[in-house]
Amino acid sequence: MSVKFSEVVELVRRQVPGAEVRVGGEGGQANPSLEEAVSDSRQAVPGTLFCAIRGETSDGHDYVPMAVERGACALLCERPVSSPLPMIIVPSVREVMGEAAAAVYGRPAERLLMVGVTGTNGKTTTTYVLRSILQAAGVRTGLLGTIVENDGVTERDADRTTPESCAVQRQIASMVRNGCGACVMETSSHGLFLGRLKGARFDVPVFTNLNPEHLDFHKDMENYFQAKRLLFTHYSKPGFRGAANAGSPYGRRLLEEFSEGLRGFSLDKEDEAFAHVLEWHTALDGTSLTVALRGLDAPLQLRSPLVGEFNVWNVLCAVTALWGRPGIDEETVRRGVAAIPQVPGRLERHELPSGACCFIDFAHTPSALRNVLATVRGLTKGRVVSIFGHGGGRYPMNRPELGRVAAELADEVIVTMDNPRDEDPAEIARMIVQGIEERGGTRHRVILDRREAVRTGLELLGPDDVLVVSGKGPEKYLQIGSVKHPYNDAETVDAWSGSRKGA
């Protein structure tokens, strides 16, 4: 399908009454038909609206000639540029780009059940649980998140949790074309605050929890919370029905503010929540749990392949969010929870030739590391070896606390590199070691080369031991300075195991 440039002009003028419109000159069409909207000139094709956004290191206006060469036929800009194409000039392209892209693609979010998940920890796994339940109900479901983008047919690695609004709309439109009935999406605080979700509104907004993270960007926890709150105030449809964590003070604030639209969930039966877990048991092969839902005569007996208490929270969150929607009954939930796939980099289990095992996890905050290590500690008969670092340009106060958590829960710690960016990795490691030594100096060493650190950790394991490699999860690179070097924890573990088989 396509939309005329004049229709986009009308939409933008409703949002920005003072928007300036310049008709095309010689070589350009006055009112072209638009089929695509992009903010990356390399993605322009014939029939494209090119949105010239200004980033931290580059200005899209400088790439207009490349977009035109590739087939762009109209422009959305913040200042006039030398081009024969018709253009709309607005104070902020980001403010209107999402709605403009939604118009170009036929407002695809209005044709899907839209499920959005926000919070600090658990977003990725919760989206996988939500999708599994929806698909058990026979609903083809697209997925946009930290790990992958899946349009119902094709799956590819994701570049960021919440892409630019043009890309979000393009992916949602692809889901519609591929016969999806639902879209499940992680909604990051950056994406919400920067308007990357404009043009999309959600039927089922979900809040998992809030812990200190991204405070280099948001400055304090209240600002961080207000960015998450935008999912419910600005990006949810009228009459939405979602879920929020009643065990979190920030979740309780949302439940109080949106009492008609949100259901609470909690592991604490003392909380006045819509859903509770009455009992649960976890082992290395999965978790069984009993869930009580308000209005349901008998509790749900569920079996999940996911491991650990935090995954009990994730399953409970998803069940609460979807319960009662058309096609979501007791049997559907049981089948959906039982069929949850392995989530890459989220307590991802690797069996080792020695009989030991390794878990790879994205945990990069103190609370997330505590959850992972405490879970593994309770399931293993032997020692727990922990390997992690911390990203450069991120909340530095987390570094000593990460060390303290590891010293408390692991028998041995290897401090390594994790995307140091423009910081000195040795200085990051020093801050982590400071926390280890404050907690009593559990046996530890620093090996900055991450591949060498993982191999060293694997060599340390006896048959009943467990290695936890955390911080990067499914990422396929190490960013040193501005350069991303190919690297993946799972590939390193598998290569080591492969070299030991038959030895």
DSSP 245-282: ETTSHHHHHHHHHTTTTEEEEES-TTS--SEEEEEEEE
Query: 307 Cβ partners below 8 Å, 6+ apart?
Result: 282, 283, 284, 286, 287, 347, 349, 375, 379
pTM of the model: 0.85
Residue position matching structure tokens 């658990």? 122
b (16+ CB within 10 A) / e for 377-393: bebbeebbbbbbbbbbe
Which residues, given as ranges, of the chain have pLDDT below 50?
A: none
Candidates 207, 187, 183, 314; CA nearest to 262 is 207
How far, CA to CA in Å, does 22 sit from each of 47, 112, 131, 317, 495? 18, 35, 44, 49, 58
Q: Taking the CA atoms of 350, 413, 435 and 391 in sequence, report the sign of the dihedral they define.
A: negative
Looking at residue 341, what is its pLDDT? Answer: 93
Report how far residue 185's alpha carbon sits from residue 363's, in angstroms, rounded to the nearest whole number.
Answer: 20
Query: 501 Cβ partners below 8 Å, 6+ apart?
Result: 353
Looking at residue 214, what is its pLDDT? Answer: 66
CA atoms within a 13 Å half-sphere pointing along the CA-CB vector of 237 = 18
Looking at residue 25, what is its pLDDT? Answer: 62
Looking at residue 269, what is its pLDDT? Answer: 82
Same fold, 3-104 and 108-338: no
Strands (E), 120-238: 141-144, 148-150, 155-157, 182-186, 204-207
Q: Taking the CA atoms of 422, 426, 350 and 318 in sequence, report the sign of the dihedral they define.
A: negative
Looking at residue 162, what is its pLDDT? Answer: 83
**Contact in structure between 167 and 174 (CB atoms under 8 Å):** no
Report how far residue 96's alpha carbon sits from residue 12's, in angstroms, rounded to the nearest whole number.
Answer: 7
At 62, is the secondary structure helix, strand, or coil?
A: helix
Tell me the per-residue pLDDT of 442-496, one tens digit each, with 9 for 90 and over.
999 999 999 999 999 999 999 999 999 999 999 999 999 999 999 999 999 999 9
Looking at residue 57, what is its pLDDT? Answer: 82
Looking at residue 376, what is its pLDDT? Answer: 93
Residue range 108-338, CATH number: 3.40.1190.10
End-to-end C-alpha distance for the chain, whole angstroms? 59
Looking at residue 326, what is its pLDDT? Answer: 94
At 202, is the secondary structure helix, strand, or coil?
A: strand
Report how far residue 161's alpha carbon sits from residue 143's, in angstroms, rounded to the nearest whole number.
Answer: 11
Q: Taking the CA atoms of 22, 26, 30 and 33 in sequence, report the sign of the dihedral they define.
A: negative
Which CATH superfamily does the domain covering 3-104 fall into?
Answer: MurE/MurF, N-terminal domain (3.40.1390.10)
Per-domain residue ranges of the chain: 3-104, 108-338, 348-500
Candidates 355, 424, 367, 363; CA nearest to 393 is 424
Looking at residue 486, what is its pLDDT? Answer: 97
Which pair of structure tokens corresponds to residue 448?
Answer: 């900055």
Domain 348-500 sits in CATH 3.90.190.20: yes
